[in-house]
Amino acid sequence: MKEKMKYLNWLIKEIMASFGGGIVTLALMSYLLGDGVAQFSPVFGLGKRGIPLEIVVQFLLLAAFSVIVKDVFMTDRWIKNMSVFLRKTLYFFVIILGVFVMSRLFKWFPADAARAWIFFGAFFAVAMIIMTIMTRTKEISENNKLQEALEEFKKKKKDE
């Protein structure tokens, strides 16, 4: 039971971190692109005034999807024996496919609007970079804390 709660806590933290990164990126792009793209996509439907609530909820769903896919492919919890290269390749493929499906399902922009797809690709790339940096920074911080604890443990054992 304790392990399940620990996992659920981790899952919620990861989803919120991913969601936060996506929303900050979306807000920044909405502000920068302004009212000029409001007619092309409901994602930017409010222009500089903000992000529509339904889009916020859809991005929460996208964050949950991306974290679950990350958990499946990037940990040993579900898949025990797979090369790192194959894990990362499958992870990015599934994420890109999922984002494409969600963008069509939620009609984030018209299928025949090449310019909108280019902006979407740029947004997605920026969001992935920001989320990767946030996740990697957190991972490095946690690794440093674990390394310090290990060094302290070794020192105590040596002194005994």
pLDDT at 160 over 90: no
- Cα 61 to Cα 152: distance, rounded to the nearest angstrom: 41
Q: Note the pLDDT of residue 49.
A: 85
- pLDDT (tens digit per residue) in 68-100: 999 999 888 888 888 877 888 888 889 889 988
Tell me the CA distances in angstroms from 37 to 71, 79, 100, 141, one per residue in order: 34, 42, 19, 38
How far, CA to CA in Å, does 41 sit from each of 4, 85, 113?
40, 35, 10
pLDDT at position 19: 94
Q: Is the pTM of this model over 0.75?
A: no
DSSP state of 50: -
Boundaries of every domain in the chain: 2-137
> What is d(CA 87, CA 102) in angstroms, rounded to the nearest whole number?
22
At 129 the pLDDT is 79
